[in-house]
Amino acid sequence: MTPPTLPTVLVTGFEPFGGAAVNPSGELARRLAELGHPDCHIVGEVLPVSFTQAPGLLAAAIDAHDPDIVIMLGLAENRRAITPERIAINLADAPVADNDGLHLTDAPLEPHGPAARFALLPVTQIAHAIANAGIPAEVSLSAGSYVCNALMYAGLGIAEQRVGAGAGAGSSSRGADARAGAAGLAGPASGAPLQIGFIHVPATPQLGGDPHNTLDELERGIRIAITTIIDERA
């Protein structure tokens, strides 16, 4: 019997920003790619904190590696838990400039795009699995309105394009998480072959975060997220 082909997981993180020396999301992407995972092939990419550059580099990485799963990571310094995001909104409204010096306020990401796009990952199951392992985790409604949100919105748009207008309906446990419940919000394209979503991680002690949120502990949490996504695909 031919052994099953392992899925490919693309994990992205960001470079440091705001004067910080490190960004745990980028460190996690590098570490996970170096150490691997028994249930998948992991590819890691560190992206610039740039409204204009990050989406294009994400698209290039997806084209290059053809992943089955994409987990975008970002830093949420004001949070104390790992937070899978439910939706990305069609808005850039940042209190600070990105690393290119671009300061966007009250600007649409895509002038003719949907108001929001829903994650194509089982966010509730991910949060529960991480929390059950003793690591603080909870579902977050929105990825905000900075570069993290812009990247999530662009990534979900890529997933929509890959499905195409003629895709047949599919069903999975992630559908309940992703289903749009209000008019004007675009839900996921049914049967999307690319599972993609965003997870924010809290600040590590090096950045003044909770002493328990070490990089090792955050890595353990993201590994649990990866395992949960793969298990939900089965």
Q: Hey, which residues are catalytic here? A: 85, 148, 200
131 DSSP β-pair partners? none
Spatial separation of the C-alpha atoms in residues 26 and 192, rounded to whole Å: 26
Beta strands at 140-142 and 41-47: parallel, antiparallel or unpaired: unpaired
CA of 89: how far to CAs of 50, 69, 154, in Å? 17, 21, 10
Neighbours of 34 (CB within 10 A): 9
